[in-house]
A and B are shown apart, each in its own frame.
Chain A
Amino acid sequence: ETGVTQTPRHLVMGMTNKKSLKCEQHLGHNAMYWYKQSAKKPLELMFVYNFKEQTENNSVPSRFSPECPNSSHLFLHLHTLQPEDSALYLCASSPTGSGGATGELFFGEGSRLTVL
């Protein structure tokens, strides 16, 4: 148990569906992140939130829409996705907004997304 909880763990959706991924951290951290992990590719940073404010958008397509209502919760809203968006989506948190560079990132177990 890392203190970062992601739901759902598995999601299958069609290209016209709208769904959301949820992340909650119980560590009192101020920064939260979304990463994408595709098969045989490195982890790709998608979004960074620091004190609820988005500080990084790594050229992510608009069909992915993040939301951070408070420092403990992070959502990723999904709309009209493509099959190539199928991947493991990982949420992470860190005490400060240093991108996790100066200290460890705490990851959730991920949401495995399949787009049909």
Chain B
Amino acid sequence: SQKIEQNSEALNIQEGKTATLTCNYTNYSPAYLQWYRQDPGRGPVFLLLIRENEKEKRKERLKVTFDTTLKQSLFHITASQPADSATYLCALSNNAGNMLTFGGGTRLMVKP
């Protein structure tokens, strides 16, 4: 069966360090992979999209990698700040590229 796995345990890091979150998937061949940020009691907010033929994408302090061989995406936040504390969701398109499925998210806590 298809699975999207994100670490359900919270990731605690010190301010200024690089946070790295992992998204692993099985039985998928996604054409697109997205990352969203969700704050408590609020809707998810889109951050980045990466295509299957792209290895890496950057946006300001954010970097996403997409390894279709390992079936894994890594999401990095450099020079992390307490304001980066939130839950981060990865989402994969289905094989037809017309539907999106979300992982359970990883909560990031950045301590001052």
Contacts and interface: CB of A to CB of B under 8 A. Distances in A.
B86 interface: no
A102 B32 contact: yes
Given A45-B99, A101-B93, A102-B32, A90 B43 contact: yes
Mostly, the A contact residues are: loop
Contact of A107 (B34, B41, B44, B49): B44
Interface string B84-111: 0000010101100111111111000000
A57 interface: no
A99 B91 CA distance: 11
Contacts, number: 69
A109 B100 contact: no
A102 B97 contact: yes
A51 to B, nearest CB: 14
B45 interface: yes
Nearest to A33: B100
B4 interface: yes
The 8 A-B pairs of least Cβ separation, nearest first, read A107-B43, A101-B93, A104-B46, A99-B99, A43-B102, A42-B104, A100-B100, A99-B98
